[in-house]
Amino acid sequence: MGRITLDKVAKRFGEVEVIPPLDLTIEDGEFVVFVGPSGCGKSTLLRLIAGLEDVSGGEIRIDGQNATEMPPAKRGLAMVFQSYALYPHMTVRKNIAFPLKMAGMPEEEQKRRIDNAAKILNLTDYIDRRPGQLSGGQRQRVAIGRAIVREPAAFLFDEPLSNLDAALRVGMRLEITELHSRLKTTMIYVTHDQVEAMTMADKIVVLRAGHIEQVGSPLELYRTPRNVFVAGFIGSPKMNLIEGGEAGKHGCKTIGIRPEHISVSPTEGMWKGRVGVSEHLGSDTFFYVHETGLREDMTVRVSGEVEMKSGDTVYLTPDMDKLHRFDDAGLRLS
């Protein structure tokens, strides 16, 4: 079981309020991703849940039990660190055994669990090596193995993939998602990469400066961002945000249109512009369009390969159904 409730949890470092009081409930078995730009307090929030930092106010409950004052060892949570934090002087087996040893588990049960974890994570081949002899991806697996043997109430991941190269990252992303669907244990995952958030999460928590900007499923956030910040943060490439006269026509401060919701024509359309750089990914093509008469340059995403040269004139037409409108305070207008 792993239902985690944060009740008016706040954190101050001296005079600096890193996290103003916030409420959040994480249901049992949920995969929750904390996402936000660096310095938004997402890692601090995770460390508060872990017990590695004291809260300055509020209450943390794990499965209904008040855990605010509990030391990390007693909370029944497992954590995977960004640096993996493997014990360099122990073999992979001993690393994984360490939490079980600390819990005073009988040797046989320890062995059964370690072997099981090793099988799930394909660690068997290097179970007697030391972390120094492993590659980044292998170390990551060991760190996860050390977390799963404990059968914790919840897993905490602190940017676990950011030290891996791009190809490996995609693979590990998939593995963690599969692990979640197999174990069905609560997972809290911190990342600054919104792609990771979108692909892995049941529920995304978008944080900025310690505030929760929005909580929702990936598609909710994509379709109905609550404010300009979430609109700009979720989605890749970024949503085009347009202020000024064009927004005024729609009776608001800012309008937003995602690059994939703009159609392109060489002859007619709503906004006329000139193509700058175009990026060909094969599956998609991105255009950066200047001189549209709008204050901002526009990014456009077109499916497939489209021939268009720098300097060509294009006409852009937004899909009016997919237009987002925001008021003076940056909040969504429906």
Partner 1 sequence: MSTQHSRSAARLMISPSVILLLAWMIIPLSLTLYFSFLRYNLLMPGANPFVGFENYTYFLTDPAFFTALTNTLLLVGGVLVITIIGGVLLALLLDQPMWGQGIVRILVIAPFFVMPTVSALVWKNMFMNPVNGLFAYMAKAVGLQPFDFLAVAPLASIIVIVSWQWLPFATLILLTAMQSLDSERLEAAEMDGAGPFARFFYMVVPHLSRAITVVILIQTIFLLSIFAEILVTTNGGPGNASTNLTYLVYAQSLLQFDVGGGSAGGVVAIILANIVAIFLMRMIGKNLDA
Partner 2 sequence: MARAVSTNRKITVTVIAWSIGFLIFFPILWTILTSFKTEAEAIASPPSFLFFEWTTENYGIVMERSNYFLHFMNSVVISVGSTLIGLLIAVPAAWSMAFVPGKNTKNVLMWMLSTKMLPPVGVLIPIYLIFKNVGLLDTRTGLVIVLTLINLPIIIWMLYTYFKEIPVDILEAARMDGANLRNEIIYILTPMAVPGIASTMLLNIILAWNEAFWTLNLTAANAAPLTAFIASYSSPEGLFYAKLSAASTMAIAPILIMGWFSQKQLVRGLTFGAVK
Residue 170: Cβ within 10 Å count:
15
Strands 324-326 and 16-26: unpaired
Q: Which residue's CB is nearer to partner 1, number 72 or number 269?
A: 72
Q: For residues 40-59, which are near partner 1 according to CB under 8 A?
A: 47, 51-54
Residue with smaller CB distance to partner 1, 55 or 200: 55
DSSP 291: -
Closest to partner 2 by CB, 52 vs 302, is: 52
**Counting contacts by CB under 8 A, is residue 71 touching partner 1?**
yes
Q: Decide which of partner 2, partner 1, none touches 30; Cβ closer than 5 to 8 Å per partner kind.
A: none
Q: Which residues contact 308 (CB under 8 A, 6 or more apart)?
A: 264, 275, 278, 285, 287, 314
182 binds, among partner 1, partner 2, none (CB under 5 to 8 A by kind): none
Contact 103, 150 (CB under 8 A): yes
Nearer to partner 1, 71 or 293 (CB): 71
Residue 49 is a binding residue for partner 2 (CB under 8 A): no
- Binding part of the chain for partner 2, among 68-76, 120-128, 244-252, 306-314 by CB under 8 A, reads 68-76
Residue 66: how many CB atoms within 10 A of its CB? Answer: 12
User: How far apart are alpha carbons 33 and 205 in whole angstroms?
Assistant: 6
Determine which residue in the list 15, 64, 88, 132 makes contact with partner 2, applying CB under 8 A. Answer: 88
Q: Closest CB to partner 2 among 139 and 208? A: 139
54 binds, options partner 1, partner 2, none, Cβ within 5 to 8 A by partner type: partner 1
| Edge-to-edge strand ranges of the sheet holding 284-290 | 262-265, 313-318, 271-280, 284-290, 298-303
Nearer to partner 1, 44 or 299 (CB): 44
Residue 73 near partner 2 by CB under 8 A: yes
Reported as type and span, the H/E element at residue 303 is strand 298-303
53 binds, among partner 2, partner 1, none (CB under 5 to 8 A by kind): partner 1
Smallest separation (angstroms) from partner 1 to the CB of 13: 9
DSSP 207-263: EETTEEEEEE-HHHHHHS-SBHHHHHHSSSSPPEEEESHHHHHTTSSEEEE-GGGEE
End-to-end CA distance of the chain: 38
Number of C-beta neighbours around residue 153 at 10 A = 20
Binding of partner 2 by 85 (CB under 8 A): yes
Q: Which residues bind partner 2 (CB under 8 A)?
A: 50-52, 71-73, 77-79, 81-83, 85-89, 98-99, 102-103, 146, 150, 156
Q: Which residues bind partner 1 (CB under 8 A)?
A: 47, 51-54, 71
